[in-house]
């Protein structure tokens, strides 16, 4: 399956290579560099590249290209998913998945890669199992090790590897038993100029941090499980119980993990927490334009909207912006043509406003479309879909755990919240209106 | 030689006694910088010292640095002797690092590597399973041919180890050994066979992987493990699941018969029915009642929950399994999961979109409800954008094309010009696929010609050219328009396209064409080559059609071309001149000049790059690359006859018992009984309907498949009558109906009059046919099969063809079909007869996918608002309400209502809230109080009301700080619904359940304006919040929704006729049904 792996940084240096079968020369990466050059931006590099004798499947993550070499037919998603797991494992072990962290811990990285794949086929990818085999680096442990010469490597086979719950290690002990669940929801929405929703969806995840002794069996139920439209689970969740009773029943892994991700059954809109009044215009004569943006809260269920950031990708002809903000600061980068207005908390009484003039390149024709606004925001203690955890019960152990649930709503990370200027602007005059 | 010299130098410098070795091992070409090399060498030297020291910590430190070198790709092979000594070290971390080193360099240092073998052989007997396993891992990774026998022995032993972890390692080792020495295949297959029987979930994935690599053709090894693998699948680790599912997909395609014929989805198979007699007989055999092998069902059933896996590769592999194996109507359940994957990483999106693109060509309906998920976002990578565009184009149809085009229109304006160009091509494809919009698209593209951007204009011209080629005569004005724009267009490809168009259709623009040629003559020398070539062609064509005006111009251009710098152009000119200008020598060919140059050219086909890509198994690398990757295993076609099922039987099969065929049958026939007695009448009707169908088909002296099958009947009638009374008889009806279902899918050529043909004649025919073949087959199996035709005869007789041919629900048909195999579906059927609340609960279980209704977003949200409080009554406070048609967030049973308050007075209103709910029995979720509303301001809030599925108004008191007003919200009946969609088949099925008093219908007269489907659709969705159900027939429109509070289904069906329409509403809430009918009647009959 996976033959070799090369890690390549943005500058094009191969800083790590690992082979699971016989060695493949790193010159195979030249095909990748070729594709990278053609693609201009790292995001545009095709994930699957064909070379005369091999196939390169790559992912780009945290400014690192993970390039795997494949020789025979394999489901591409299999490789892609695995590479992402590798990156997540680095993140888990070293705190971040950067070139520096990998170089600093190259021995552990190597040991990890050795355990994760055998002959190119995944052997152990559960974080709990790996951590028993290879202990994550801590300052204390590395000091102790250098003095005593003891090792980072587990001596016995992790119990999880053989049990029916491979994600959990045996003999977990905590003095404080706690279980925390974060319900994080993201809204992806596209609004048109008038504020009507063109497209909106809510997706959420429940991230858990469970530190419970022994083999606890947890049951998490929701007040309104029917909101959940499409779900995917950590393997620990018993699917049958979910199908029949709509509760999450599981023996949790130890530590941090993603319990489930879901999609909320309200395809168009439930509540868009902010509204925008905006007017960006470019004048036909004279090389200038005007910009006026006001934001206000809407359907926030009484919670405060925080960390509001408005980003506008200006057309190329906009040279500079001369604006005043009633709240927060703005920056305009004339090179990337990105206007960023960092508002912070949204105030119900005094709505933040950004107003002023734009100077355009003289002589250039006025831009044909107005730029769209991306809005980023965060609401604490609110799951915008209205999803509520009802209760968490524990079976199998005697102690009383401390339980907590936190809700956060954010703007979606890939689409953000796009307020477009053009979506609806002239439907009737549109040549394609049928 | 240089290498030798180097090694000599090292020897001197380092003074090491191992100089010879070093010389051997450094594969550096002589080009390596000397200085750099010596430092490298020095460092390795101290590493060697550290490795040979007696201190553990120094050794470990050294090994860590060595691994660092390997990771960077630096050569550390000269340390091999020093490293290999540590292979037996007690320190586990050190040992592991030595293993890493060994595996990396053993192939280069075969002799030295052999030194370590004995250590591993010892470790293979270690009591610690981890050590046993890792010894086997390393031993099998040392790619030294000499140790093959040792490896073989070790693998055989490990395969019967007590620890499943060691057995898993053994499975991996099989592949390693096989790639080292393929001659061991036979022995390895024995080990694989043994490991396949292993019951541990840990081993399953790895051994199947080994099977796929070593002996994928030995399907026979799988038979006896098939059911075990299916049952274990849920508990196998995720990577193993992917491999097993992929293998089982291949397996199932060789062992089960196709479940697809039943649905008759494929158009080409339909055609076959009407061709020749011979072919008909063949297809008749195919239409034998299809019964899914219980093992086939088991596979589908046990993979389904994995659609919820967090691992995208698992989800994709289940999706491809359903695509390749499931009956067509069950494939839909994968849609949601695939769409979910689109929210994953960019690379995942890329692969999933590719697969969706392939699927969406064959089955638009699957992804149509999720069209918005494929809208392009500005942050998408280029290849994602292109794929989304592809899918949107595939999904476009008459109903949604306006939305798609509007979306495309924004893409055309994108900053990314390559993407804009791709969009224009997509518009071109939509235009050719959907003939209704060709003109609209053409006009749109013509407008784009005045775009400022050159790439956009150029691409538009090219696409217009292709479109015009399909229907040139009607569009001479567009050609004229383009000729006018010609001066402003500078992109060579676009200019060339215009010239070609004018030349090709010069007869449609007789006045303009010569003028364009005149202009071209002036600028000829400045043009690009491609434009020059087209100019020459234009000149030639004009010369042939209009030589009076253009003779001189042509000669001038040919002269220019003759002396052009480019030899292509010189060649072309010479050729054209010989062809069109009659001369003594070239006369023979010039006779045909007209036919050569002005031959009608076929229009270019604009089709998807993903067409036919499903010849590759979905989700594979080959599918992504669209060419066979090394080691790709072909998916075979379904076998025509089912291979022996018994091969999968296992003697001790506790887990499988419930799935043995006998039990399944017993269950199904029970439920059939119940159903049969419930709806016997309907079935009769159905039989009559399809009977008349068949009449129509057989009229033209051809026999329909059912008939020819009947003719095979070898049993006499009395016998079959008896059996029809028994339990099996019921079963036969089922299958018979299945067949009808299929026929119903055929294009209906039946005119109402065809039904009046005497059914007797039909039966007579059959009788004779029966006698012909009597005594042909006598086995009991044959008996079962042949009873059926008679039963259907009886049904025909009992209901002598009623003259009304109506689309009757075929729903029980497929339901029963399902019942045969899946107990889950049985419970579903029963409960839907139960109380509505249970039903709604079941609807909530959309994951179970047993309910055909998929909730969708509203097709249309009217902007109409209703007055709640007039500003005069409200003393300045005005309130309006509006039904947003979204599922309510507060409670599923509520309808969300948006209230807009505006302050028309001159003082601030404070604390607007709902104080008391006066109406009883209605649950209202109030909006949170509005603290203050300043004059001239307005605010919108949303609230939820549970109307209990009635149109009774919800009354409450609306209060400000000062005053209270009694108001009420009056819901229109159409707002009590939430739109759902389902397949056409499910619709009929559900409709069939809601007959009798649950059905209300009316005939309405319609104005000619509302004849085309678009306004009708719009009227209906405007009036009521219903979802559109895709319909195969143009004159039948189906809509579905469910009541918000009870969840009961509401089905609306409009059948258009010449001057009117038949309107049917089915729902178990009869009052709602009749109200809805009345409202729809009013709306539809209005002009």
3-state secondary structure of A8: strand
CB contact under 8 Å between A415 and B312, yes or no, is no
Q: Which of A79-93, A130-144, B29-43, B549-563 has the lowest mean pLDDT?
A: B29-43
Report the gap between the CA of B444 and the closest CA in chain A (Å): 5
Q: Which of A29-43, A157-171, B85-99, B722-736 has the lowest mean pLDDT?
A: B722-736
What are the angstrom distances between the C-alpha of B1070 and each of B393, B899, B997? Answer: 41, 30, 7
CB contact under 8 Å between B315 and A232, yes or no, is yes
Q: What is the mean pLDDT of chain B?
A: 73
Q: What tokens does B132 get?
A: 């046993």
pLDDT band of residue B670 (cuts 50, 70, 90) is very low
Nearest chain B residue to A366 by CA: give it. B452
Report whether B797 contacts B735 (CB < 8 A).
no
Instruction: Report the residue from A155, A369, A386 with minimal CB separation from B92.
Output: A155
The whole-angstrom separation of Cα B195 and Cα B187 is 13
Nearest chain A residue to B96 by CA: give it. A111
Instruction: Report whether pLDDT(B1021) > 90.
Output: no
pLDDT band of residue B158 (cuts 50, 70, 90) is very high
Task: Considering only residues B27 and B901, tell me which one the structure prediction assigns the higher pLDDT.
Answer: B901
Q: Across the strands, what pairs with B939?
A: B901
Report whether B960 contacts B905 (CB < 8 A).
no
DSSP letter assigned to residue B875: T
The whole-angstrom separation of Cα B120 and Cα B144 is 14
Residue B658, class by beta-carbon neighbours within 10 Å (0-12 exposed, 13-18 middle, 19+ buried)?
Answer: exposed
Confidence (pLDDT) at B884: 79
Confidence (pLDDT) at B936: 79
DSSP B404-454: HHHHHHHHHT-S-HHHHHHHHHHHHHHHHH-GGGHHHHHHHHHHHTT-S-H
The whole-angstrom separation of Cα B984 and Cα B961 is 54
Task: Considering only residues B1011 and B987, tell me which one the structure prediction assigns the higher pLDDT.
Answer: B987
- ipTM of the complex model: 0.87
Report whether A230 contacts B340 (CB < 8 A).
yes
Query: What number of residues does chain A have?
Result: 434
Nearest chain A residue to B399 by CA: give it. A434
Report whether B922 contacts B945 (CB < 8 A).
yes
Which sign, positive or negative, has the C-alpha torsion B867, B873, B874, B876? positive
Task: Considering only residues B878 and B814, tell me which one the structure prediction assigns the higher pLDDT.
Answer: B878
**With contacts defined as CB-CB under 8 Å, which chain A residues touch B447?**
431
Instruction: Report the residue from A74, A231, A258 with minimal CB separation from B621.
Output: A74
Mean pLDDT of B128-148: 88
End-to-end alpha-carbon separation of chain B, Å?
98
Report whether B155 contacts B194 (CB < 8 A).
no
Strands A178-191 and A402-411, how do they pair? parallel
A119: nearest Cα among B586, B599, B141, B949: B141
Confidence (pLDDT) at A161: 67
pLDDT along chain A (434 residues), means of 10: 91 91 89 90 90 92 92 93 93 89 90 89 86 77 61 68 74 86 83 71 86 90 85 88 89 88 68 80 78 82 81 83 89 87 84 88 72 81 83 86 84 50 29 30
Number of Cβ within 10 Å of residue B908's Cβ equals 12
CB contact under 8 Å between A271 and B889, yes or no, is yes
End-to-end alpha-carbon separation of chain A, Å?
51
Q: What tokens does A127 get?
A: 């974080």
CB contact under 8 Å between B57 and A77, yes or no, is no
Residue B678 sits at the vertex; the CA angle it makes with B674 and B679, to the nearest 5 degrees, is: 125
CB contact under 8 Å between B351 and A76, yes or no, is yes
pLDDT band of residue B664 (cuts 50, 70, 90) is very low
The whole-angstrom separation of Cα B175 and Cα A333 is 56
Task: Considering only residues B705 and B344, tell me which one the structure prediction assigns the higher pLDDT.
Answer: B344
Instruction: Report whether pLDDT(B29) > 60.
Output: no
Q: In B252-407, where do the E strands start and end?
A: none
Report the gap between the CA of B1046 and the closest CA in chain A (Å): 14
Confidence (pLDDT) at B830: 37
Q: H or E stretch including A60? A: strand A55-61
Confidence (pLDDT) at B598: 80
pLDDT band of residue B1076 (cuts 50, 70, 90) is confident
Instruction: Report whether pLDDT(B361) > 50.
Output: yes
Task: Considering only residues B860 and A314, tell me which one the structure prediction assigns the higher pLDDT.
Answer: A314
Q: Which of A163-172, B216-225, B970-979 has the lowest mean pLDDT?
A: A163-172
Interface test with A, best of B97, B135, B343 (most A CBs within 10 A): B343
Q: In B824-952, where do the E strands start and end?
A: 854-855, 866-869, 877-887, 895-903, 909-917, 923-925, 930-933, 938-946
Nearest chain B residue to A201 by CA: give it. B373
CB contact under 8 Å between A155 and B413, yes or no, is no
Confidence (pLDDT) at B107: 84
Report the gap between the CA of A282 and the closest CA in chain B (Å): 17
Report the gap between the CA of A232 and the closest CA in chain B (Å): 4
3-state secondary structure of B641: coil
Chain centroid, CA B574 distance in Å: 53
**With contacts defined as CB-CB under 8 Å, which chain B residues touch A107?**
64, 67-68, 97
3-state secondary structure of B355: helix
What are the angstrom distances between the C-alpha of B974 and each of A268, B164, B350, B374? Answer: 19, 61, 41, 29
The whole-angstrom separation of Cα B1006 and Cα B1058 is 9
Report whether B192 contacts B220 (CB < 8 A).
no
Tens-place pLDDT, residues B225-283: 999 999 989 888 899 999 999 999 999 998 888 888 754 444 444 444 444 444 444 44
Confidence (pLDDT) at B240: 92
Mean pLDDT of B111-118: 85
CB contact under 8 Å between A433 and B206, yes or no, is no
Report whether B551 contacts B573 (CB < 8 A).
no
Instruction: Report the residue from B172, B375, B382 with minimal CB separation from A199.
Output: B375
Nearest chain A residue to B618 by CA: give it. A75
CB contact under 8 Å between B239 and A73, yes or no, is no
Chain centroid, CA B631 distance in Å: 25
Which sign, positive or negative, has the C-alpha torsion B336, B340, B346, B351? negative
Report the gap between the CA of B101 and the closest CA in chain A (Å): 11
B175: nearest Cα among A2, A14, A198, A41: A2
pLDDT band of residue B9 (cuts 50, 70, 90) is very low
Tens-place pLDDT, residues B737-756: 444 444 444 444 444 443 34
What are the angstrom distances between the C-alpha of B714 and each of B274, B286, B720, B731, B788? Answer: 26, 19, 10, 19, 11
The whole-angstrom separation of Cα A208 and Cα A401 is 14
The whole-angstrom separation of Cα B919 and Cα B956 is 7
* Interface A:B, Cβ pairs < 8 A: 290
DSSP B1038-1049: EEEEEETTT--E
Instruction: Report the residue from B91, B343, B440 with minimal CB separation from A203.
Output: B343
CB contact under 8 Å between B886 and A239, yes or no, is no
3-state secondary structure of A383: coil
């Amino acid at each position: 399956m996976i033959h070799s792996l090369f890690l390549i940084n943005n500058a094009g240096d191969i800083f790590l290579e690992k082979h699971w079968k016989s060695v493949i020369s790193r010159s195979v990466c030249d095909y990748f560099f070729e594709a990278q050059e053609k693609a201009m931006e790292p995001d545009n590099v095709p994930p699957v590249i064909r070379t005369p004798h091999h196939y390169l499947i790559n992912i780009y993550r945290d400014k690192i290209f993970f390039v795997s070499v494949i020789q025979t037919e394999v489901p591409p998603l299999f490789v892609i998913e695995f590479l992402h797991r590798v990156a997540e494992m680095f993140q888990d072990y070293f705190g971040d998945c950067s070139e520096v962290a990998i170089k600093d811990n190259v021995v552990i990285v190597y040991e990890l890669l050795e355990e994760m794949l055998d002959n190119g086929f995944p052997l152990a990818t559960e974080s709990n199992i790996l951590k028993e085999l290879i202990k994550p680096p801590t300052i204390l442990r590395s000091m102790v090790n250098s003095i005593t010469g003891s090792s980072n490597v587990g001596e016995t086979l992790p119990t999880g590897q053989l049990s029916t719950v491979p994600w959990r290690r045996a003999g977990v002990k905590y003095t404080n038993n706690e279980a925390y669940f974060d319900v994080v929801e993201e809204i992806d929405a596209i609004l048109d100029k008038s504020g009507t929703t063109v497209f909106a969806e809510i997706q959420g995840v429940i991230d858990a941090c469970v530190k419970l002794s022994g083999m606890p069996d947890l049951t998490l139920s929701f007040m309104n499980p029917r909101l959940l439209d499409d779900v995917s689970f950590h393997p620990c969740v018993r699917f049958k119980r979910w199908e029949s009773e709509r509760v999450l029943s599981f023996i949790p892994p130890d530590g941090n993990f993603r319990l489930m991700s879901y999609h909320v059954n309200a395809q168009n809109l439930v509540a868009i927490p902010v509204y925008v009044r905006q007017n960006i215009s470019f004048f036909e004569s004279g090389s200038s334009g005007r910009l006026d943006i006001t934001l206000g809260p809407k359907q926030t269920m009484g919670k405060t909207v925080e960390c509001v950031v408005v980003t506008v990708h200006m057309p190329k002809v906009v040279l500079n912006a001369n604006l005043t903000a009633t709240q927060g600061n703005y920056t305009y980068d004339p090179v990337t043509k990105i206007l960023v207005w960092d508002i912070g908390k949204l105030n119900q009484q005094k709505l933040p406003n950004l107003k002023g003039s734009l100077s355009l390149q003289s002589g250039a024709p006025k831009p044909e479309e107005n730029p769209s606004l991306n809005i980023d925001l965060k609401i604490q203690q609110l799951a915008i879909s209205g999803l509520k955890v009802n209760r968490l019960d524990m079976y199998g152990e005697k102690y009383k755990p401390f339980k907590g649930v936190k809700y956060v709503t954010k703007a979606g990370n890939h689409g953000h919240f796009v307020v477009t200027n053009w979506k609806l602007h002239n439907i009737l005059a549109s040549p394609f209106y049928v | 030689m240089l290498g030798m010299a180097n090694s000599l130098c090292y020897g001197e410098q380092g003074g090491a006694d191992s100089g010879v070795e070093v010389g051997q091992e450094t594969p550096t070409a002589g080009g390596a910088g000397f200085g750099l090399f010596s430092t490298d060498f020095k460092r390795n030297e101290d590493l060697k010292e550290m490795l040979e020291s007696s201190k553990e910590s120094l050794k470990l430190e050294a090994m860590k640095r060595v691994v660092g070198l390997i990771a960077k790709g630096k050569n550390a092979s000269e340390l091999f002797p020093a490293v290999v000594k540590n292979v037996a070290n007690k320190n586990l971390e050190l040992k592991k690092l030595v293993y890493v080193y060994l595996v990396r360099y053993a192939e280069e240092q075969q002799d030295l590597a052999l030194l370590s073998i004995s250590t591993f052989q010892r470790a293979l007997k270690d009591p610690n399973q981890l050590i046993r396993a890792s010894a086997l891992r390393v031993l099998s990774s040392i790619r030294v041919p000499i140790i093959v026998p040792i490896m073989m022995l070790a693998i055989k032993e490990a395969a019967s180890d007590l620890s499943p972890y060691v057995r898993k390692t053994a499975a991996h080792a099989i592949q390693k050994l096989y790639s080292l020495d393929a001659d061991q295949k036979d022995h390895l297959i024995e080990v694989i066979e043994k490991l396949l029987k292993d019951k541990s979930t840990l081993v399953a994935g790895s051994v199947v992987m080994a099977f796929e690599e070593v002996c994928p053709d030995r399907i026979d090894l799988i038979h006896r493990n098939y059911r075990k693998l299916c049952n274990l699948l849920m508990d196998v680790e995720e990577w193993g699941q992917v491999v097993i599912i992929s293998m089982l997909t291949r397996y199932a395609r060789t062992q089960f018969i196709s479940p697809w014929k039943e649905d008759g989805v494929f158009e080409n198979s339909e055609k076959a029915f009407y061709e020749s007699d011979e072919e008909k007989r063949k297809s008749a055999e195919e239409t034998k009642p299809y019964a899914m092998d219980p093992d086939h069902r088991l596979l589908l059933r046990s993979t389904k929950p994995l659609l919820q896996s967090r691992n995208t590769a698992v989800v994709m592999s289940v999706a491809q399994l359903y695509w390749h194996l499931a009956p067509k109507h069950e494939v839909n359940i994968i849609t949601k999961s695939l769409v979910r994957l689109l929210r994953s990483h960019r690379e995942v999106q890329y692969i999933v979109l590719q697969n969706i693109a392939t699927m969406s060509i064959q089955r638009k309906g699957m992804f149509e409800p999720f069209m918005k998920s494929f809208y392009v976002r500005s942050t998408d990578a280029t290849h994602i954008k292109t794929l989304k565009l592809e899918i949107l184009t595939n999904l476009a149809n008459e109903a949604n094309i306006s939305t798609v085009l509007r979306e495309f229109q924004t893409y055309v304006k994108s900053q990314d010009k390559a993407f804009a160009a791709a969009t224009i091509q997509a518009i071109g494809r939509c235009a050719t696929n959907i003939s209704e919009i060709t003109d609209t698209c053409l006009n749109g593209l013509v407008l784009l010609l005045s775009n400022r951007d050159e790439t956009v204009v150029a691409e538009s011209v090219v696409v217009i050219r292709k479109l015009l080629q399909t229907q040139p005569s009607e569009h001479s004005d567009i050609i004229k328009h383009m000729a006018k724009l010609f001066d402003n267009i500078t992109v060579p490809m676009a200019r060339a396209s215009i010239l070609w168009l004018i030349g090709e259709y010069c007869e449609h623009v007789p006045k303009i064409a010569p003028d364009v040629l005149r202009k071209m003559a002036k600028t000829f020398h400045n043009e690009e080559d491609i434009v020059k070539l087209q100019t020459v062609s234009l000149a030639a064509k004009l010369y042939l059609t209009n030589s009076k005006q253009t003779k001189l111009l042509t000669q001038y251009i040919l002269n220019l071309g003759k002396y052009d710098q480019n030899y292509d152009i010189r060649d072309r000119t010479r050729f054209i001149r010989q062809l069109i200008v009659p001369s003594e020598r070239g006369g023979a060919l010039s006779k045909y000049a007209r036919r050569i140059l002005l031959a009608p050219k076929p229009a270019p086909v604009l089709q998807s790059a993903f067409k036919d890509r499903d010849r590759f198994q979905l989700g594979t690398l080959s599918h992504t690359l669209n060419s066979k990757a090394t080691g790709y295993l072909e998916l075979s076609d379904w076998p025509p006859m089912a291979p022996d099922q018994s091969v999968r039987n296992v003697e001790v099969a506790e887990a499988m018992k419930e799935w043995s065929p006998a039990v399944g049958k017993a269950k199904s026939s029970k439920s059939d009984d119940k159903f049969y007695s419930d709806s016997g009448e309907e079935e009769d009707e159905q039989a009559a309907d399809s009977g008349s169908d068949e009449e129509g088909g057989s009229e033209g002296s051809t026999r329909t498949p059912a008939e020819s099958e009947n003719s095979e009947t070898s049993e006499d009638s009395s016998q079959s009558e008896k059996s029809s009374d028994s339990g099996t008889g019921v079963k036969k009806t089922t299958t018979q109906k299945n067949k009808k279902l299929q026929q119903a899918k055929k294009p209906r050529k039946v005119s109402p009059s065809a039904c009046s043909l005497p059914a007797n004649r039909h039966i007579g025919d059959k009788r004779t046919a029966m006698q012909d073949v009597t005594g042909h087959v006598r086995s009991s199996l044959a008996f079962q099969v042949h009873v059926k035709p008679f039963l259907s005869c009886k049904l025909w007789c009992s209901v002598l063809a009623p003259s009304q041919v109506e689309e009757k629900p075929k729903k029980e048909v497929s339901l029963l079909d399902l019942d045969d195999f899946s107990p889950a579906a049985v419970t579903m059927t029963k409960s839907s007869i139960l109380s509505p609340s249970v039903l709604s609960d079941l609807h909530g279980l959309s994951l179970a996918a047993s309910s055909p209704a998929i909730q969708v977003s509203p097709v249309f949200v009217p902007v109409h608002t209703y007055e709640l409080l007039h500003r005069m009554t409200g003393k300045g406070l005005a309130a309006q309400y509006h039904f947003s048609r979204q599922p309510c967030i507060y409670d599923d049973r509520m309808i969300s209502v948006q209230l807009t308050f505006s302050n028309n007075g001159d003082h601030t209103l404070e604390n607007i809230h709902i104080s008391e709910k006066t109406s009883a029995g209605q649950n209202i979720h109030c909006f949170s109080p509005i603290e203050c509303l300043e004059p001239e301001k307005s605010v919108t809030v949303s609230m939820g009301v549970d109307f209990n599925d009635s149109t009774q108004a919800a009354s409450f008191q609306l209060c400000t700080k000062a005053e209270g007003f009694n108001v009420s919200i009056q819901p229109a009946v159409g707002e009590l619904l939430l739109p759902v969609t389902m397949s056409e088949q499910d619709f009929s099925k559900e409709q069939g359940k809601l007959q009798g008093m649950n059905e209300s219908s009316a005939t309405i007269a319609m104005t000619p304006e509302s004849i085309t489907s678009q306004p009708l659709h719009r009227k209906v969705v405007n009036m009521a919040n219903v979802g559109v159900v895709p319909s195969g027939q143009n004159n039948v429109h189906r809509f579905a929704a469910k009541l918000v509070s009870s969840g009961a289904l509401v089905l609306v069906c409009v059948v258009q006729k010449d001057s009117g329409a038949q309107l049917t509403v089915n729902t178990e809430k009869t009052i709602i049904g009749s109200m809805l009918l009345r409202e729809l009647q009013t709306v539809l009959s209005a002009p």
